[in-house]
Structure 1
Amino acid sequence: MHALLQTVIARLMKMLTRRGVLVEDMGQTYLAEPDADGEEARTLRPLQAAAITYRIAFGPRAGQKVLTLRGAMPREDSARQPLCADIDGFSLHAAVRVEAHDRKRLEQLCRYITRPALSDERVQVNAAGQVELKLKTPWRDGTTHLVLSPLEFMQRLAALVPRPRLHLIRFHGVLAPNAKLRSLVVPQGPEVEERATAAVAASECVVQTETNPDRPDRPHRIAWARLLKRVFDIDMQHCPNCGAGELKIIAAILERPVIEKILTHLGLDPQPPPRGRAREARQD
């Protein structure tokens, strides 16, 4: 596990250096100046750098450590779990695994990955107007709460916002973008299969003299009608009565009086339902 983590750290540092996030000079590595990046990077990078070092980025207490409350005794380092490694702040935890057909544990793992950054039950405002964040598990030094001003709390939340045009999903193995076997496991769709069949039939009859290699095998974007069908099972392309006739857009009605008149004629409520209030912290 330590050897694997060392390899991951080395490759990660090389990737960050290649992308200009880190700068290596005289055997030392440090963060690059944000001036060379876009406006979003110049704004978010100081917040992210301060967040990972538990410091404050802006305000009267800029550069200082976040205030903490200790209400528990410092705990000793427990025995290292199997299949876990920790080197220079990088940790690798491979003890959690899911069997091939264990759908319940797979659901638990997905819920853990997609959980929100904070829980409403662990965030409260004290009498001084400061935000107290209760830690789910006390730290080794006994820290149970983090105390921040509203501005400092907003800085920590802003550090969690991903930058624009940044991919949040990574595919590995045969699903990686440059995997050689990707075309064998990714569905191509009926359009691609029909074109492939037609191309084979045409090649048997005539010799094609011109080719267009830049033409994509399938469209890059999916129509809204197909997305509605895939996500909400709402078919906007076929008649809901017979199921065979194709639907097409006749007109787009945007005037409120006309919409209300049509809905009233159909026996529907012309007024939209009221918006529900956001759930409060202690509301079931």
Structure 2
Amino acid sequence: MNLTMIATSLCEKIRTKGIELGERTSHLPLSFRLGENQWVVVFRFGVVATVGLNEKERQDVFSELNPFMENPHAVQKSEDISIEIGEGLDEVGSEQAKIPSLSRERVLVVADILAKSVMLERYEAVMSEVFSEAEPLAERLMTGLRGKVSSKELKKTIGATLLVQQNMIGRVEVHEKPEVLWEHPELEKFFVRLEDEYEIKERNDALEKKLRLINTTAETQLGLLHNSHSLRVEWYIVILIVFEILLTLYEMFLKPHFS
């Protein structure tokens, strides 16, 4: 038997309390069995994985989840994997997983990897845009040019990187293994092979390096901007002091001669 699991990034966050789609099989992540070989796994960071559902059934599930979504994405991103069910051991191939049964624990393991992969894809797209904006800043620093960059733009760039970092650490928890592995340690090798196939660690490390680079570049430029403003204020103060001294000298020595 061949089935397809699809993970779709729907929104920034899903409130899982109150969601009822079928027979609940786990709480973290929230998962439901809808029928024979039909599953839905809901992740709080806005991703929903389905297996054994046709497109209409998937859209019906999304409609039921709509009231629980925060900040829905205008453009949804999806990733899928072909699941072959048959006798033998758990195996992982290119965009395919072979498993002996579509058990709850195997559904949760595959869904975890697919959900992380689709979220990394979203973050990679976001950071690609931010990186393209930060690149000119790095060029200015390299050439010694300051250019006209507002602190508002720099703070926006820093804010974007911090938001992605917060989501990666606080919501997605890319480095964390799914809780189901504590109950079924025999599936850890299967999980690791899936993780390697989708290059989860490598993509996450590359994204973190890019985040650090963008953040450092923006903070450096912002520091230079503040220093420039401080220097300008100091010159204003010096000019005012000199003007006040000249005015005092005028009052003391020159004004009496004109009186």
Mark yes or no: TM-score above 0.5.
Answer: no
Q: TM-score range by the shorter chain?
A: under 0.3
Going by fraction, where is strand more abundant, 1 or 2? 2
- What is the TM-score normalised by the length of structure 1? 0.22
Going by fraction, where is helix more abundant, 1 or 2? 2
- What is the TM-score normalised by the length of structure 2? 0.23
RCO (CA 8 Å, sep 6+): is it higher in 1 or 2? 2
